[in-house]
């Protein structure tokens, strides 16, 4: 905390990952030591990929390559688009998409004042309610352009418990934050877009983050499982099926992407739990 560099060993500086904002530099890194000219970006160009969907891996409800999201972004002619969900309450610990001056960016919950967080618009909704869920659309052209302004991106400070070697050469494992890690965030590029768009989606259908260990009761493996199975129950019920209490049915994404293609379950009552890998397998659970 006093500005000194921590050592991992007596001969090595302690380092840490550079945050999910390191994604952009990684796109330009060689895919193989034997072919340093081939990167993710050159591969995208070679395959004529024009658009990319990127998202946080800890969200089990992500709609991969969502055609609605991609179509919306193309309609808006956006360089980059962000999906958001409405904040549940002013104190929810999430960043919000907002404008700083005339530029769009994500304002972290630690950066917004209580008065701003609690402000309401004329309809009674939170004025700053667009919660960032790390779900983005990019044009490949914009991903190439990041290199031009990447050195201008500011580091974010994360105060952490950082193991290090002490003055006597022994390893110190602190019990409270003792240093600062410098990180970049994936949304730091938003202010540099020429055309930026936002799409608000339903939290219940598209956002169930996994942040905590089992037993936390919120954003943990059990809540992720609960939310995924609840969504698949809604798929079946919207298609005209009945699912008895306590029955849990997981529908493989090759069977249904977002609840479509389930016409065959109309009128059926499901009494047994299971994982469905094909439409024909529904009969075994009815």
Q: Which domains does the chain have, with CATH numbers?
A: 7-206 (3.90.550.10), 221-285 (no CATH)
Residue closest to 57 by CA, chosen among 94, 14, 20: 20
**Which stretch, 11-25, 156-170, 265-279, has highest mean pLDDT?**
265-279
Vertex 150: Cα angle to 145 and 153 (nearest 5): 135
Tokens, residue 76: 């808006």
Using CA atoms, how far apart are residues 107 and 129, in angstroms rounded to an integer?
Answer: 11
pLDDT(216) > 90: yes
Do 135 and 83 meet the contact criterion of CB atoms below 8 Å apart? Answer: yes
What's the confidence (pLDDT) of residue 108?
87
pLDDT(110) > 90: no
Residue closest to 112 by CA, chosen among 123, 125, 99: 99
pLDDT band of residue 260 (cuts 50, 70, 90) is: very high
What's the confidence (pLDDT) of residue 111?
84
pLDDT band of residue 121 (cuts 50, 70, 90) is: very high
Counting beta carbons within 10 angstroms of the beta carbon of residue 123, is it exposed (0 to 12), middle (13 to 18) or buried (19 or more)? exposed
Could you read off the pLDDT of 54-93 as tens digits, one per residue? 999 999 999 999 999 999 999 999 999 999 999 999 999 8
Could you read off the pLDDT of 178-207 as tens digits, one per residue? 999 999 999 999 999 999 999 999 999 999
Which segment of 14-18, 139-143, 244-248 scores lowest on mean pLDDT? 14-18
261-276 average pLDDT score: 97
Tokens, residue 260: 């479509």
pLDDT(158) > 90: no
pLDDT band of residue 282 (cuts 50, 70, 90) is: very high
pLDDT band of residue 109 (cuts 50, 70, 90) is: confident
What's the confidence (pLDDT) of residue 93?
86
Tokens, residue 209: 């983050």
Do 85 and 172 meet the contact criterion of CB atoms below 8 Å apart? Answer: no
Strands 130-139 and 80-86, by their bridges, are: antiparallel
Q: Is the pTM of this model over 0.85?
A: yes
Residue closest to 94 by CA, chosen among 111, 109, 116, 113: 109
Residue whose token pair is 């904040």: 87
227-250 average pLDDT score: 98
What's the confidence (pLDDT) of residue 167?
86
Do 150 and 162 meet the contact criterion of CB atoms below 8 Å apart? Answer: no
What's the confidence (pLDDT) of residue 8?
94
pLDDT(227) > 90: yes
pLDDT(230) > 90: yes
Percent of the chain whose predicted confidence (pLDDT) is above 70? 100
Tokens, residue 18: 């550079």
CA atoms within 13 A on the CB side of 242: 6
């Amino acid at each position: 905390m006093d500005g000194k560099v921590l050592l991992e060993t007596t001969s090595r500086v302690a380092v840490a990952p550079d945050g999910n904002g390191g994604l952009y530099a990684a796109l330009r890194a060689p895919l193989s030591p034997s072919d340093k000219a081939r990167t993710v970006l050159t591969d995208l160009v070679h395959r004529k990929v024009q658009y990319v969907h990127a998202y946080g891996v800890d969200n089990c409800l992500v709609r991969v390559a969502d055609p609605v999201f991609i179509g919306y972004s193309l309609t808006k002619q956006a360089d980059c688009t962000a999906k958001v969900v409405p904040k549940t309450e002013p104190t929810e610990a999430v960043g919000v998409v907002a404008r700083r001056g005339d530029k769009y960016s994500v304002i972290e919950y630690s950066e917004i004042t209580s008065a701003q967080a609690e402000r309401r618009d004329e309809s009674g909704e939170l004025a700053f309610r667009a919660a960032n869920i790390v779900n983005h659309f990019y044009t490949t052209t914009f991903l190439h352009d990041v290199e031009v302004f990447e050195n201008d991106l500011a580091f974010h400070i994360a105060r952490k418990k950082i193991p290090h070697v002490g003055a006597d050469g022994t390893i110190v494992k602190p019990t409270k934050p003792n240093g600062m890690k410098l990180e970049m965030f994936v949304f730091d590029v938003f202010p540099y877009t020429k055309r930026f768009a936002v799409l608000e989606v339903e939290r219940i259908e598209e956002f169930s983050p996994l942040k905590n260990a089992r037993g936390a009761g919120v954003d943990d493996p059990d809540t992720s499982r609960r939310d995924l199975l609840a969504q698949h129950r809604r798929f079946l019920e919207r298609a005209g099926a009945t699912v008895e209490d306590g029955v849990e049915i997981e529908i493989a994404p090759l069977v249904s992407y977002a609840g479509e293609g389930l016409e065959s379950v109309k009128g059926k009552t499901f009494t047994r739990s299971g994982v469905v890998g094909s439409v024909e397998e529904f009969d075994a659970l009815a």
